[in-house]
């Protein structure tokens, strides 16, 4: 069996139905879809994703990424994205894995691997915190070894961290190396943006203050605005709106909040403004959007 066929078989054996499945390996999730999905809004945290079968489209701002088998993505900050499985069938389901990036492990690797990784090519100015590139044979081998551990649970505690380290090591020396170095370097521009994102997520329901966000990031307001947009394809205020609206949607869907209560809880003073911005982001007013989600459960998973 070739490497990609084995990866497909491992994901299929360890996913019992369509949707996202967290695994006994804490940072690892698997996803399967036997059909094309609707566009799915979700907040992604830093992760490495590999598609083993099928095809998916992800949109960040105005930029659209289309990727399929043997491609992998890296998200280097928390990003609100719109993803859609665009090629899948019952006979050949969409199969994907997501490995959340352990920043402490990545930082240790950067220190241990020496100057070659630490002083590699810089990330181009204005480069978004998401990219796609081909999977190398060495990376694929490490990923397969990690997934094999799902079938020998007794080995996970001892061997999974070793496989994760190798995966990060291979990625650190690949096309995503500059982006991964940015995640792990405390004084990098991307770390400053990560701190700004953390502040926005913790205070999303409060009135927006660019000065407060800039202070949390140790940047001037003008520098924050410029670099935040370069990394996330949106302004800090637009990012806050996305977080507010996604959280309101979750409240309506999972906690049965009515739209007015959800909007007020996430910081909207005007129900009409909330409804208008909700429709602009999700394509329908709250009641119709939630009814559609409940009628199509496969549109609610995001990896």
Q: Cα separation of 72 and 83, whole Å?
A: 15
Q: Which of 42-46, 181-185, 202-206, 230-234 has the highest mean pLDDT?
A: 202-206
For residue 124, what pLDDT band results from cuts at 50, 70 and 90?
low
| pLDDT attached to residue 116 | 46
What is the distance in angstroms between the CA of the first residue and the CA of the last residue of the chain? 26
Q: Does domain 3-184 have CATH number 2.60.120.280?
A: yes
pLDDT, tens digit (0-9, with 9 covering 90-100), for 163-197 = 999 999 999 888 878 888 888 776 678 889 999 99
Q: Is the pLDDT of residue 80 over 90?
A: yes
Q: What's this model's pTM, rounded to 2 decimal places? A: 0.86
Report the CATH fold assignment for 208-303: Arc Repressor Mutant, subunit A (1.10.10)
Q: Is the pLDDT of residue 299 over 70?
A: no
Across the chain, the runs of DSSP E, i.e. the strands, are 19-22, 28-33, 40-44, 47-53, 55-60, 63-68, 71-75, 79-87, 94-100, 130-134
Q: What's the helix, strand, coil split of the chain in %, to 5?
A: 50, 20, 30
Domain parsing of the chain, residue ranges: 3-184, 208-303
Q: Cα separation of 74 and 50, whole Å?
A: 9
| pLDDT attached to residue 123 | 53
pLDDT, tens digit (0-9, with 9 covering 90-100), for 246-277 = 999 999 999 999 999 999 999 999 999 999 99
Kindly write down the DSSP assignment for every residue of 247-283, as one continuous string.
HHHHHHHHH---HHHHHHHTT-S-HHHHHHHHHHHHS
Average pLDDT over residues 89-110: 93
pLDDT, tens digit (0-9, with 9 covering 90-100), for 129-147 = 888 888 999 999 999 999 9
**Contact assessment for residue 236 and residue 196, using Cβ atoms and an 8 Å cutoff:** yes
| pLDDT attached to residue 191 | 86
């Amino acid at each position: 069996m070739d490497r990609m066929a084995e990866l497909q078989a491992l994901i299929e054996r360890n996913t019992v139905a369509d949707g996202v499945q967290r695994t006994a390996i804490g940072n690892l999730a698997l996803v399967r879809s036997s059909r094309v999905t609707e566009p799915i809004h979700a907040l992604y945290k830093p992760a490495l994703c590999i598609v083993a079968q099928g095809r998916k489209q992800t949109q960040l701002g105005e930029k659209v990424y289309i990727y399929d088998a043997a491609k992998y993505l890296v998200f280097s900050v928390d990003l609100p994205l719109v993803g859609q499985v665009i090629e899948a069938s019952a006979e050949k389901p969409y199969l994907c894995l997501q490995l959340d990036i352990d920043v402490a492990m990545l930082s240790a690797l950067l220190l241990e691997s020496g100057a070659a990784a630490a002083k590699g090519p810089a990330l181009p100015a204005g480069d978004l915190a998401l990219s796609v590139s081909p999977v190398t044979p060495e990376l694929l081998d490490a990923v397969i070894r990690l997934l094999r551990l799902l079938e020998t649970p007794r080995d996970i505690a001892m061997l999974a961290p070793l496989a994760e380290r190798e995966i990060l090591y291979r990625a650190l020396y690949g096309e995503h190396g500059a982006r991964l170095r940015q995640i792990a370097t405390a004084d990098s521009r991307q770390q400053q943006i990560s701190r700004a994102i953390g502040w926005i997520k913790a205070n999303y329901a409060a009135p927006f203050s660019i000065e407060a966000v800039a202070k949390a990031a140790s940047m001037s307001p003008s520098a924050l605005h410029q670099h935040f947009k370069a990394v996330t394809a949106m302004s800090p205020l637009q990012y806050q709106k996305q977080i507010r609206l996604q959280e309101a949607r979750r409240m309506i869907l999972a906690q049965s909040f009515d739209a007015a209560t959800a909007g007020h809880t996430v910081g909207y003073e005007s129900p009409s403004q909330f409804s208008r911005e909700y429709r602009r982001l999700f394509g329908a007013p709250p009641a119709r959007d939630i009814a559609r989600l409940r009628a199509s459960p496969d549109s609610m998973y995001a990896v």
